[in-house]
A and B are shown apart, each in its own frame.
Chain A
Amino acid sequence: MVKIKLKKNQKTVYVNQNCGILEIAEKLKISVNDAEFIQKVIHFGIQSPYSEEQLIQKIKELEERKKTLESELKKIALQFTPLESKYMGLRMQISKIFNDNRIQVFHLCARQSPGSGGKGNATNLIQKYVEYSKSLWF
């Protein structure tokens, strides 16, 4: 099964493409000619206490688990998306009205004569928006 080319400092091994080497290399964004990658693969192969059949079985189980989770993610995303959209819409509205109000408060401040103390309602609003402006939330 293994064809070897003899060279000075390196050997060439041919492995079946069906074993998934290209798929894994692509997923990890590395080349099969990357020496570090190959060394890592060989290291894993030597260290692994499991047989090919056991590893294949484990992969099947993990792929099943992944499918289940992807399906769960889709379901939860269907609940999350409209809620998040509504929340973000409210935040945008709040931000716009708050900024409009703040501008109006500046106009109100400009209208009040110095030392007059202002009317109760106006003073409360001015104080409120000065306090709000300190908040990073807006």
Chain B
Amino acid sequence: MSKNKGKRVKIVIPTQLYESIKDNAENIIHRGLLTLKIQCLEEEIQSLERRIEYLKRRVRELPGDIKREEELLNELIEDQKKLETLLYGKKVTSHG
């Protein structure tokens, strides 16, 4: 951590822009970076909130969806048995 302490990053600025901030350049750049960092964090937070909201909704809905799918699966298994009986004469066994 201390390795980077004091390391400087070179930034090239157009003269005209520099002239408008020269009295307080580092402070302005620093505040600009912090503001940008806040924006990034706010976007990440919004994205996390959206994902959480979606997952919460799916967790509420999935048990009902699963129940419906299980009923449909049972129905298809029954059809499968009926079809086998009709085609090959196998006995229909009740699904349980």
| A binding-site residues for B, Cβ under 8 Å | 1-4, 7-22, 24, 27-28, 32-33, 35, 38-48, 50-52, 55-56, 58-59, 62-63, 65-66, 69-70, 72-73, 76-77, 79-80, 83-84, 86-87, 90-91, 93-94, 97-98, 100-101, 104-105, 107-108, 111, 119, 121-122, 125, 128-129
Contact = CB atoms under 8 A, between A and B. Distances in A.
Contacts of B13: 10-13, 38, 42
Interface of B: 4-15, 17-18, 20-22, 25-38, 40-42, 44-45, 48-49, 51-52, 55-56, 58-59, 62-63, 65-66, 69-70, 72-73, 76-77, 79-80, 82-84, 86-87
10 contacts: A10-B14, A13-B18, A16-B7, A17-B4, A17-B7, A44-B36, A62-B41, A76-B52, A108-B86, A121-B82
Contacts of A73: 48, 51-52, 55
A59 B86 contact: no
B91 to A, nearest CB: 14
A125 B22 CA distance: 82
